[in-house]
């Protein structure tokens, strides 16, 4: 047996909160590029089919990151084998991200091979290291089984074209996203229970929070890059730029000002931290999707503030903030056991804005959605602080 096989790669469970390490932050840099590629893909394919394809690709990007996050929650990224594993995933992720815009075109097979290689290869490494007697072994063996099943669908999709590719990849996403909901059950292997997923709550919550930062950072980059490419900086363009920036601040405020630390405590103090950790991943995929869609809307508004509202632009200008508020509402329901009233009001206001938007331009709609986000953030922040003083 090699020295790597003998090494204890697991994180120490000594009662202290596991910290997110620099190598994990470095790993996330690849996903800034991935999120940027997804927003550009959606912008260039603003059709129902294009939106659905972008959604499938986003789930794929999220699932690679999510499964890797679970591994680094159990295994120490400061050990050389795990560090090299992360670097290998980064390299393949970079290739996967590079071909994202053409994943439903000529480079579909490259995308599928990269994806399946990361998911199966990482999990196979863990299974081989743990052996057959470790408490986590059965869980990762079941996980490997489901990833091999989904891998078949990914490769089949890569070898197919058109709607066949989309159907195969939808099945692959369903395998990976839904299987943990019923304990990764496989014939002859049974199912795992979330109580067996002995996760480090603080680390898991912080990793999710950092991905939200990655997505918001991409939104800021899009805002800056869009105005940077504008030949003339007239008043409407500058106002649209300011509105987009304020919208990003409001989105940060909604998520981080009231719930980031509470999210950590929700996992740490739960009797079933594995289940709460799974809920975090299910809800954050919606939150980050909202950020990606909103970034596309910001780009449209800055590029053409006086542009007439059509259904395509309406879907991203109002749909992005709606998805973001809805995702945050579900997340905070997990954390606080109630859907925030401020988010209900915000969603209702955004819904009322839909029929009125057709009578105005992109800048006005962008401004109104940003105002609604700011009001929702302020309302919840004030409410939360009152509750803390009462407690």
Query: Which residue ranges in the chain fall short of pLDDT 50?
Result: 1-7
Q: Is there a single domain that holds both residue 235 and residue 322?
A: yes
State whether residue 75 is helix, strand or coil: strand
Residue 13 lies in a domain: yes
| Single residue among 158, 192, 226 that ends a domain in this structure | 192
User: 3-state DSSP call for residue 190?
Assistant: strand
Give residue 13's pLDDT.
65
Kindly state whether residues 20 and 169 are assigned to the same domain: yes
What is the predicted pLDDT for the residue at 289? 96
Q: What three-state secondary structure class fits 369? A: helix
Q: Give the C-alpha separation, 332 to 39, whole Å.
A: 26
Distance CA 171, CA 152 (A): 10
| Residue 345, in any domain of the structure | yes
Q: How many domains does the chain have?
A: 2
| Per-residue pLDDT tens over the stretch 93-104 | 999 999 999 999
pLDDT at 3: 34
DSSP 12: P
For the record, the structure tokens of 103 come out as: 């994943």
Residues in the chain: 391
Domain that holds residue 175: 3-192
Establish if 43 belongs to a structural domain: yes
The confidence score (pLDDT) of residue 295 equals 94
């Amino acid at each position: 047996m090699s020295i790597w096989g003998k090494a204890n790669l697991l994180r120490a469970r000594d009662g202290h909160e596991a910290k997110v390490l620099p190598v994990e932050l470095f790993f996330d840099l690849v996903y800034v590029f991935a999120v940027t590629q997804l927003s550009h893909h959606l912008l260039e394919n603003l059709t129902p089919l294009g939106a659905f394809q972008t959604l499938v690709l986003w789930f794929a990007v999220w699932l690679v990151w999510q499964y890797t996050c679970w591994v680094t929650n159990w295994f120490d990224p400061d050990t050389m084998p795990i560090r090299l594993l992360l670097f290998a995933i980064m390299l393949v992720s970079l290739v996967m991200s590079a071909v994202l815009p053409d994943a439903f075109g000529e480079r579909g097979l490259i995308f599928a091979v990269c994806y399946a290689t990361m998911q199966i290869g990482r999990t196979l490494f863990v299974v081989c290291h743990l052996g057959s007697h470790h408490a986590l072994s059965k869980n990762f063996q079941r996980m490997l089984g489901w990833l091999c099943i989904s891998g078949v669908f990914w490769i089949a999709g890569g070898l197919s074209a058109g709607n066949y590719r989309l159907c195969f990849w939808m099945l692959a996403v369903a395998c990976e996203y839904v299987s943990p909901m019923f304990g990764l059950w496989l014939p002859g292997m049974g199912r795992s229970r979330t109580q067996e997923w002995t996760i480090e709550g603080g680390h898991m919550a912080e990793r999710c929070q950092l991905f939200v930062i990655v997505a918001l950072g991409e939104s800021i980059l899009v805002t800056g890059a869009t105005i940077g490419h504008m030949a003339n900086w007239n008043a409407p363009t500058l106002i649209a730029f300011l509105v987009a920036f304020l919208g990003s601040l409001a989105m940060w405020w909604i998520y981080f000002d009231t719930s980031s630390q509470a999210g950590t405590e929700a996992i740490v103090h739960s009797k079933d931290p594995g289940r709460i950790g799974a809920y975090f991943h299910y809800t954050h995929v919606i939150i980050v999707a909202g950020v990606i869609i909103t970034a596309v809307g910001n780009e449209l508004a800055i590029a053409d503030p006086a542009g007439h509202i059509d259904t395509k632009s309406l879907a991203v200008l109002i749909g992005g903030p709606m998805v973001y508020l809805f995702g945050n509402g579900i997340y905070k329901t997990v954390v606080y056991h109630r859907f925030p009233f401020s988010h209900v009001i915000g969603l209702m206001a955004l819904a009322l804005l839909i029929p009125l938007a057709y009578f105005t331009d992109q800048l006005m709609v962008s401004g109104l959605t940003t105002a609604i986000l700011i009001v929702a953030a302020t309302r919840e922040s004030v409410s939360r602080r009152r509750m803390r003083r009462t407690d």
